[in-house]
Amino acid sequence: MDRQIPIIDIQHLTRRFNGKAALDDVTIQFPRGHVFGIVGENGAGKTTLIKHILGLYRAQQGSVSVFGMDPVRRPKEVLSRIGYLSEQPDFPEWMTIAQFMNYMGAFYAKWDASYAAKLVEEVNVDPHKKIGELSKGQQARVGLCAAQAHRPELLVLDEPSSGLDPVARNEILAAVIRTVVEDGRSVLLSSHLLDEVQQVCDHLLFFSQGKVLLSESMEAVLEKHYQISVRISAPLAWQALPGVFKATQDGTEWQLFCFADIAQLTNLLKQQGAQILDQRRLSLNEAFLARSPQRHILSEVA
């Protein structure tokens, strides 16, 4: 495989439903060998993006390329290299687990039957049970086995942990890590469980209202998000400050939320006559709340 070609290349992708933009001029590139986390509020466009990557949506504007191919024109070639698990998998409930793995294995040339059997054994369910007889968590874990057993180059997990207990969530995280340690493989994880994303992802995409607000390495996201408290008597043109994306005012005191080089920013503030009262690094959860348009609701709940 050509490691120079990005595993996913999305250029100016726009998708509208009934006139409303679910994705608005999205341009992203995913290099190989990384774990990408997509976070965003409900309806931000995460699943729509994933459906474009899987070829289930045709690009209305812009282009989508996966492994250097159009997933709509060449679904067989693209999907055979992807492992996919959705939030609500609609697996055939009448199949037994053994039948399901047998059925899934037929599609993939690289299907490793012994690896599949080992994965199913780890789930600790009778392989002769029907899928419909399994709990939601067990179904997700079986689905994950099927998504991994052909050692896909790209593992796509769309909100896989929703409604699952901590044990099942750990299984999924373990699967992600297992996939990553193998050479050259990538994971795309969409989730609203930020601790989960922080734990396994090395690159983060903030999505909001169909737009990419931030695409950075996890390290940068955690190191460069700050909340700074300043006091200043003169008016503060915070929009002009580099990296400041939100500010709240209480008299002469300001709370600034930024994604920036903190030393450079504080120097700039001091030059404008501001007194730095406090500065602290934001957790991923706080950064998400600060960036989300629905932050006020979330903050109240929190």
Partner 1 sequence: MYRAPVAALTAELFGKNRWAIIGTTLIPPLAWFAGKAYLGKLPIAPVGAATPISLLILMGCALQFALIFAYVDLTAGSKSGGFPKHILLLPAPTWLLALVPIAAGASFTSGFVLLWLYYVSGVHFNWAQQLIIAAAITSLMCWLQAMSWELLPSRAMRIVLLTVMAIVAVLSVVSLLANESENLFGRTWGAVGLAVTAITGLGLAYLAVIRARRGDTLDFYDHVRRILFSSGRWSRQTRSPALANGVAAQNWYEWRVYGRVLPTCMTILGAGPLASVAFARIRHSPSFVLPALLLFLFFVIAPLVGGAYVSKNLTRRVQLGLFGATRPLSDTEIAFAKLRLAVKSYLVSFAILLAVVVVFVLGSSNNAALVSLWSRLAVWQGVTGSYLSLLLLLIVVTATSWAAGAYFMSLQLFAESVDRKKHGWKISLGVTALFFLLLDIGGRLYRSRASALEWLQSPHYELLIVPVLLLGMGLCLLPRFQSLDTLRTLNRPASSVGAGAALCLIAVWQLNLAFGYQWALSWLVVTVALLTLIPYLLMPVLVGMNRHR
Q: Which residues bind partner 1 (CB under 8 A)?
A: 54-58, 72, 75-76, 78-80, 82, 84, 86, 89-92, 94, 96, 98-99, 102-108, 128, 133
Residue type, 206: F
- Nearest C-alpha neighbor of 193 from the set 164, 232, 219: 164
Nearest approach, Cβ of residue 227 and partner 1 (Å): 40
Q: How far is the CB of 296 from partner 1 (least distance, A)?
A: 32
Give the burial string for 101-139 (b: 16+ CB within 10 Å, else e): beebeeebeebeeeebeebbeebebebeeebeebeebbb
Q: Which is nearer to partner 1, 78 or 205 (CB)?
A: 78
For partner 1, which is the closer residue by CB, 94 or 242?
A: 94
Indicate the residue among 119 and 265 with the shorter CB distance to partner 1. Answer: 119
Toward partner 1, which CB reaches closer, 16 or 246?
16
Closest CB 99 distance from partner 1, rounded Å: 5
Given its phi and psi angles, is residue 151 left (phi above 0), alpha (psi -120 to 50 degrees) or beta?
A: left
Tell me the H-state helices in the chain.
46-53, 75-79, 97-105, 113-123, 136-148, 166-181, 194-200, 218-224, 262-271, 284-291, 295-301
Choice between 54 and 290, CB closer to partner 1: 54
The least CB distance from residue 2 to partner 1, in Å, is 21
CB 108, min distance to partner 1, A:
7
